[in-house]
């Protein structure tokens, strides 16, 4: 039996700064690269051809699915992997991909799209269908926020999760501003609202787009529309509830936001996101006891598993940062110190926590701070994490130098947790 082949399928426009990295991230894994260009005026096409990709030219019609399906029509391999130009497949996951297509457990797989942010607290992760069989019945739907799932389910294909990581770099704040993605998405979502007026998914997406644009009042309008359209016990219902509460929060109506999140926890008592956002609203309102209770509840629930969408870290490291903020607001510095240590044990890449810890312990001996840290983090993790930043404060530098001076032998418990999206 011949070895299954794999094609990369991409759509691009003016991606000269990003495309090479995407193509290089799959070299040695894919057998073919197909790139559909929708009107580049920079060096995108030259870069694609230089990396051995087949380039197809297709005019842009404000429809992502149309362009993506042109790429699917052109691939010739048994399986298809989809990347955007600002994404990178994690090379360590090559063996996993090969196993998934050589010993398939499903017809399609949801991969882990990890959005790399400027700050660790803004890390997000989503499950998105990016690896699937090359079959003419599997095609993209919708102009924007395009999906394969409708065609998969209509044709009774199977879909499962896969531990394949794709790092997404395109939504750091500077990129959002420079590439005008919010405005672009708004126009296409508006078209989908007009084309499918009874589908709650589109006003839900419009509400999220308005919040990205910092238009809280407009976000409330669209979130309310989504709530009116969504079936009460559908998978979309809790997501619409969260976006409505966040829209009120964005508009500054903390009382209404709090009511929505509180009501939501009665209907969805295991949806961690509701408690996390409820805690943030309570903190903003100065209700510290309520905020503490909500954040501790989020930690006890952990990452939700039965919901379509969750913010990365709402059940792991993010509530510890919020608890630190609560403690600082109450001038409880001992508790704030403990919360920072617990946060870093779960997400060492959270830069602001290191800065806060260094500031909070500026009068301590760095060796004492290190000894406390090493009850939760290995010395190697501390050194490796701090060494990646060139702009350490004097207090952070003292902590780093103390760790290096102490040598490589661990002190106390070692708990390496330096993984993206932990």
pLDDT in tens, 175-191: 555 456 677 778 888 88
* SS3 (DSSP) at 89: strand
H or E, element range at 367? helix 366-373
pLDDT at 174 over 60: no
Q: What is the pLDDT of residue 296?
A: 98
Please report which confidence band the pLDDT of residue 411 belongs to, taking 50, 70 and 90 as the band edges. very low
Structure tokens at 5: 């082949």
How far apart CA 206 and CA 223 sit, in angstroms, is 8
**Other Cβ atoms closer than 10 A to 117:** 16
All CATH 1.25.40.10 domain ranges of the chain, comma separated, are 180-301
Q: For the residues 345-357, what does the mean pLDDT come to?
A: 91
Assess whether pLDDT exceeds 80 at residue 118: no
Residue 123 pLDDT class (50, 70, 90 cuts): low
Tell me the mean pLDDT in the region 37-49: 97
pLDDT (tens digit per residue) in 212-234: 888 999 999 999 999 999 998 89
pLDDT of residue 171: 59
What's the confidence (pLDDT) of residue 177? Answer: 52
| Residues of each domain in the chain carrying CATH 3.90.550.10 | 6-173
pLDDT on residue 162: 94
- The mean pLDDT of the chain is 90
Q: Is the pLDDT of residue 92 over 70?
A: yes
Q: What fold characterizes domain 6-173? A: Spore Coat Polysaccharide Biosynthesis Protein SpsA; Chain A (3.90.550)
172 falls in which pLDDT band (50, 70, 90)? low
For 177, the enclosing helix (H) or strand (E) is: helix 173-179
Q: According to the model, what pLDDT value does residue 412 have?
A: 38
Question: Using 50, 70 and 90 to split pLDDT, how confident is the model at 420?
Answer: very low
The H-assigned helical ranges of 251-332 are: 254-267, 272-284, 288-301, 318-329
Whether pLDDT at 418 is above 70: no
409, 388 in Cβ contact below 8 A? Answer: no
Please determine, for residue 294, whether its predicted confidence score (pLDDT) is greater than 80. Answer: yes
Exposure string of 386-399, with b = 16+ CB inside 10 Å and e = fewer, is beeeeebeebbebb
Protein fold of 318-406: 1.25.40
The predicted model scores a pTM of: 0.73
Residue among 15, 65, 66, 67 nearest 38 (CA): 67
CATH number for region 180-301: 1.25.40.10
Q: How confident is the model at residue 169, as a pLDDT?
A: 83
- Which of 326, 362, 368, 370 minimizes the C-alpha distance to 344? 370
What confidence category does residue 416 fall into, taking pLDDT thresholds of 50, 70 and 90? very low
Two tokens, residue 21:
């990295």
pLDDT score of 116: 72
Q: What is d(CA 16, CA 253) in angstroms, rounded to the nearest whole number? A: 43
pLDDT bin (cut points 50, 70, 90) of residue 414 is: very low
Question: 217 or 121, which is more confident?
Answer: 217
């Amino acid at each position: 039996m011949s070895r299954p082949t794999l094609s990369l399928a991409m759509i691009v426009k003016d991606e000269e700064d990003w495309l090479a990295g995407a193509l290089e991230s799959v070299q040695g894994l894919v057998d073919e690269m197909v790139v559909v260009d929708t009107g580049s005026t920079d060096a995108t096409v030259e870069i694609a051809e230089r990396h051995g990709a087949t380039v197809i030219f297709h005019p842009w019609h404000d429809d992502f699915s149309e362009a993506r399906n042109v790429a699917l029509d052109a691939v010739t391999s048994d399986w298809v992997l989809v990347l955007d130009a600002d994404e990178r497949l994690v090379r360590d996951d090559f063996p996993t991909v090969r196993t998934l297509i050589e010993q398939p457990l499903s017809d399609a797989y949801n991969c882990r799209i990890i959005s790399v942010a400027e700050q660790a607290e803004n890390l997000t992760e989503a499950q998105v269908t990016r690896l699937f069989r090359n079959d003419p019945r599997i095609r993209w739907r919708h102009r924007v926020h395009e999906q394969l799932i409708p065609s998969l389910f209509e044709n009774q294909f199977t879909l499962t999760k896969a531990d394949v990581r794709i790092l997404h770099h395109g939504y750091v704040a500077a990129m959002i501003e420079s590439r005008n993605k919010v405005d672009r998405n708004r126009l296409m979502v508006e078209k989908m609202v007009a084309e499918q007026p009874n589908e709650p998914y589109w006003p839900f997406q419009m509400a999220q787009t308005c919040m990205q644009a910092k238009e809280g009042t407009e976000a409330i309008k669209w979130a309310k529309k989504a709530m009116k359209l969504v079936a009460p016990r559908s998978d979309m219902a809790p997501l619409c509830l969260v976006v409505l509460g966040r829209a009120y929060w964005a508009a500054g109506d903390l009382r209404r936001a709090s009511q929505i999140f509180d009501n939501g926890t009665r209907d969805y008592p295991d949806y961690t996101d509701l408690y996390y956002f409820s805690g943030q609203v309570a903190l903003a309102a100065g209700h510290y006891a309520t905020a503490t209770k909500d954040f501790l509840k989020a930690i006890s629930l952990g990452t939700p598993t039965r919901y379509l969408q969750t913010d990365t870290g709402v059940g792991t490291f993010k509530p510890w940062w919020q608890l630190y903020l609560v403690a600082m607001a109450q001038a409880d510095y001992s508790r704030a110190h403990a919360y920072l240590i617990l946060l870093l044990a779960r997400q060492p890449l959270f830069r602001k926590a290191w800065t806060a810890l260094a500031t909070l312990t500026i009068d301590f001996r760095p060796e004492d701070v290190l000894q406390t840290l090493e009850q939760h983090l290995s010395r190697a993790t501390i050194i490796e994490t701090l060494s990646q930043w060139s702009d350490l404060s004097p207090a952070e530098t003292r902590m780093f130098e103390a760790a290096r001076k102490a040598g490589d032998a661990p002190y106390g418990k070692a708990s390496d947790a330096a993984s993206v999206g932990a």
